[in-house]
Structure 1
């Protein structure tokens, strides 16, 4: 908790990428394999 107030950097951008990746994976669940999922993540 104290680190959030004292350090000048944040992991917000990383969390945003994780959220976007999970959203894409949920949308594609059961439709395609890893190759297409990877392609969509790289394009997004």
Structure 2
């Protein structure tokens, strides 16, 4: 069995990689849109 993380959020991918059990990442346009919105809000905080 393989385990994939379904996200476009780099923080989530980095965290999952630490677990040592993730085989890869899947994503889709709606997840990418969410990740971009998160990055924009972080930029405004800075």
Which one scores higher on RCO, CA 8 angstroms, separation ≥ 6? 2
If the TM-score is normalised by the length of the shorter chain, which range does it land in? 0.3 to 0.5
- Relative to the length of structure 1, the TM-score reads 0.42
Q: Which has the larger radius of gyration?
A: 1
More strand by share: 2
- Relative to the length of structure 2, the TM-score reads 0.41
More helix by share: 1
